[in-house]
Amino acid sequence: MATRHHWIVRVTHWVNVFALGIMVTSGLRIFNAYPAFARKGETFCCYPFAGRAVPDWLTFGGWLAGARHWHFAAMWVLVVNGLVYLGFNYLHGDWRDVTPRRGDLRDAWEMVKFYAFARRDHPRQGKHNALQRAAYFAMPVLGVVAVVSGVAIWKPVELGWLTSLLGGYVWARYWHFLAMIGLVGMTAVHVFMVFSVDPYALRAITTGGYNEEKSPEARNARPFWWKRAQPAAPPTSEAS
């Protein structure tokens, strides 16, 4: 059984789960203090739920000041953890596993066809298929957008040039919200695909071990539809 993920990747993955969870839920509590993007007396084009608070069970922090403390604390954890992850991936060469490649659009379409039962056999893949590479590449990008826009609305006077670059305070706040929605959506899809297609990956992201004979490609796995992994046959010895 090979080691699929280095321990640094595994640790930063689970730290991200904690930090992102705190960031999202405390951010929603902050948003509930003024659940709209337009200033009072003005309108905003792109948010149809103005004035409707997010349900309390989706928020964290108890009240505005408490949520702000949690939000900023988790922000630094997320930033430092992200830098460790990106630095390790660059120095260790793992960035090649998640960087888009020529032909990814074609390969992604083949994966879509397979999941839709329009293709019989699982497309050939390496460590990640084209859809996974696109998602794993996009998530750090969304993380950067979230941090940059968050800093712009945190310091709109001191960093007025950055806030202006994002379209002003209202739009900077909106980009921050969209980045959060993107991260939550991609995380939800990621969790769904792990449990429905490759539950064996849970071991890989906790202990590192992964049996390639149980990979989605080997099991021809679609969501909740796969061949059960068979144990490897014992080696046979020839009579002397």
Using CA atoms, how far residue 90 sits from 14, 87, 99, 106, in Å, is 19, 5, 11, 26
Is the distance from CB of 85 to CB of 143 less than 8 angstroms? no
* Structure-token pair, residue 121: 């056999």
* Structure-token pair, residue 234: 């014992």
Written as one letter, the residue type at 147 is V
Q: What does the pLDDT read at residue 72?
A: 93
Q: What does the pLDDT read at residue 236?
A: 54
Is the distance from CB of 219 to CB of 204 less than 8 angstroms? no
Phi-psi region of 93 (alpha: psi -120 to 50; beta: other; left: phi over 0): left
Using CA atoms, how far residue 173 sits from 31, 37, 55, in Å, is 10, 7, 20
* Structure-token pair, residue 170: 């209202």
Q: What does the pLDDT read at residue 198?
A: 92
Using CA atoms, how far residue 208 sits from 1, 4, 115, 128, 202, in Å, is 10, 5, 27, 15, 9
Using CA atoms, how far residue 59 sits from 14, 19, 23, 163, 211, in Å, is 20, 14, 10, 26, 38
Q: What does the pLDDT read at residue 34?
A: 92
pTM of the model: 0.86
Answer positive or negative: Cα dihedral of 157, 163, 168, 171.
Answer: negative
As a whole number of angstroms, the distance between CA 151 and CA 52 comes to 25
Give the domain ranges of the chain: 2-219
pLDDT (tens, 9 = 90+) of the chain, 240 residues, equals 778 888 999 999 999 999 999 999 999 999 999 999 998 888 899 999 999 999 999 999 999 999 999 999 999 999 999 999 999 988 888 888 888 888 889 999 999 999 999 999 999 887 888 999 999 999 999 999 999 999 999 999 999 999 999 999 999 999 999 999 999 999 999 999 999 999 999 999 999 999 888 899 999 999 988 766 555 555 555 443
Indicate the fold that domain 2-219 takes in CATH: Fumarate Reductase Cytochrome B subunit (1.20.950)
Q: What does the pLDDT read at residue 125?
A: 82
Q: What does the pLDDT read at residue 2?
A: 76
